[in-house]
Every structure is written in C-alpha cells, then in structure tokens.
Amino acid sequence: MDLVLFYYFSMLAKYRNFSVAADEVYLSQSSLSKRIKSLEDKLGVELFIRGPRSVELTRAGEALLPYAQNIVGEMDVLKEQMGRLANRDSVLRICASSFLSYYGITTCIADWMNGNPQITVGIKEINSSQGLVSLREGEMDAVLMFHTGSGSGEYDVHPLVADEIVAIMNRDHALAQRKTLSLADLEDQELILISEHDESFFRALLFEALNEAGCRFRLHKYKVWIGAVETILRQSQSLAILPRRVAERMNSGAVVWKPVGGLPQIWFSIIARADNKKVILKDFIHFVGGHAGIARPDPA
C-alpha cells in the first residue's frame, strides 16, 4: 500500500474540505478525491461522508485517524533521515597534507573510522593552499594542514599539534655549533625548499619573514622531494627549512637542526568552513582533537 495515501487522508481529515486540502497537498480536487477513493478501496471501508461543501469522518475514518497520523509522523522522521543522507551526512571528505604522518594523527583517524563503519570517509593528499581552495569551493569538509593563526569568520581552526620551523644542516656546517639561529643568520645561505606540490606553506612563511627582516637569501635547491633532503644536506653546506618534527626523523647523525628565531610557531590543525554543520564532522574533530592532544614542542 502506498503510505502517502495516509498523508492525503490526514490532511482531508484536518481541513474537512476537498478544496482546502487539495491546495495544501498541491493536488487538484479530482486527484485528491481519486487518492482518497483508492485508500477506501484498499481498506474496504468508507472514510468520509461527503457533503456539498465539506466532509465528515465516518466511524471507520475516526478509528483510522490516529494510526494515519502516526504513519505520517514516521514518514516525516524518515524523510529527515533520508535528507541527511542526501546531504552526504554519511560521507566525510577530508584532505590532508603529506606531513600528516609526522604528527601521529593517522592512527587517530583510523580509530575514528573503525568506530564509525557506517560513515564513508574519503581522504585526499593535498598541500595547504590547495586544501583551502577545496574548502572554499565546498569540495571537502575538512583539511588537515599547517597554520599559524586562529580562525576567521569563514573558517574554524582546531589546533592539534604545535611545532616550530627549524634550520637543518650538515653537522660540519659553520652554523652547526650555534644553539639557535636568527633570520639574519640565514642571509646569503643556500636554502633547500621542498616542492610546493608537497607543501607550499614553508616557502611562503619563510619568504615573508625574510622579506620583512630585509634579509637576502639564495635557493640552492628548489622543488626537492622530502625524502631527498637529508641526502642533499650530507653532501652540501646548504640549509633545509622544515618543521622540527621532520628534522627529528633525520636521526642518522649526519645532520643537526637549530631553531630559528623570528619565525612564528606553527600548528598542524583541522580547518573546516564555519558554515559546515555536518554532525559527523563535529564528531570527527572532537575525537581526533581529544586523542591527538595539543602537544607543544619541548624547549630546545
């Protein structure tokens, strides 16, 4: 039986007038009349006493009314649930910087996915600038990326792990004995920067800081694959500018890292559009944020 017939019955029972009820359900009077007759035929009873200007419920109609109203109520709940699915509230679209693995967050994401098997999670590798474009255009629900500031009217920022930018160099480099470096120490040094395809954040951050400080700089290597940085450092007197978490993974003993004063603290964060109201997104952010913790780098 077509359950929508109970909806038409309920509306006619409410207004007791075919013309008014038909307008309410966006049908013609004749179409509504045919649907009510269809329900009566299926149930084998008359539901209304039809008058020239109004209708009244029969005893059978009065008996059916509370059941029909319950069916209509359940249909409304079902429509709401289906609407959430239509709005892809069962799908979470995430993009993340390739540096995600350095911050111990991949395990948190895997645990959340295992605890929510009904949710379809799509994860795409992307750099920070591309991630913000994807958010702005509505292609992604959240991006896990580097950030230096707080949220804005357009985005909500949820910091996960704090880090700092350091200079990495050959152990024999002239600056290797310094405890910390300044932006002035980077002047005229040969700098190694990774490919913007991997991450554009560090290049923009460093260039802005150096330009503001009036420091000149030279690029020794640009668009370097992250896995090749340590090998290049061993064989040159260049400096690589990367997060401390990355430097700590280079544990061969051939290179050392030094904090650089004058550069802002960075955060690996979850960023989402402020107008994204997905329940599963809020749950994801709460879970990952609670399990990743807000870890700050130890003093150098």
284 in a structural domain? yes
User: In this structure, are 47 and 61 located in the same domain?
Assistant: yes
- List, for residues 59-103, the tens digit of each pLDDT value: 999 999 999 989 888 877 776 665 555 555 678 999 988 888 888
Residue 299 pLDDT level (bands cut at 50, 70, 90): very low
Closest CA to 167 of 188, 182, 146, 148: 182
Domain of 248?
Answer: 165-259
Q: Give the lowest-confidence range in 8-22, 140-154, 238-252.
A: 140-154
User: In this structure, are 286 and 250 located in the same domain?
Assistant: no
Q: What is the pLDDT of residue 151?
A: 56
User: In this structure, are 67 and 210 located in the same domain?
Assistant: no
CATH number of the domain that 188 lies in?
3.40.190.290
User: In this structure, are 16 and 45 located in the same domain?
Assistant: yes
User: In this structure, are 184 and 228 located in the same domain?
Assistant: yes
Sole residue written with tokens 């544990």:
251
Cβ neighbours of 92 (radius 10 Å): 22
Which of 1-10, 11-20, 144-153, 217-226 reaches the highest mean pLDDT?
11-20
What is the spatial distance between Cα 202 and Cα 187, in angstroms, rounded to a whole number? 17
User: In this structure, are 149 and 175 located in the same domain?
Assistant: no
CATH number of the domain that 148 lies in?
3.40.190.10
User: In this structure, are 188 and 246 located in the same domain?
Assistant: yes
User: In this structure, are 28 and 109 located in the same domain?
Assistant: no
Coil, strand or helix: which one is 260?
A: strand
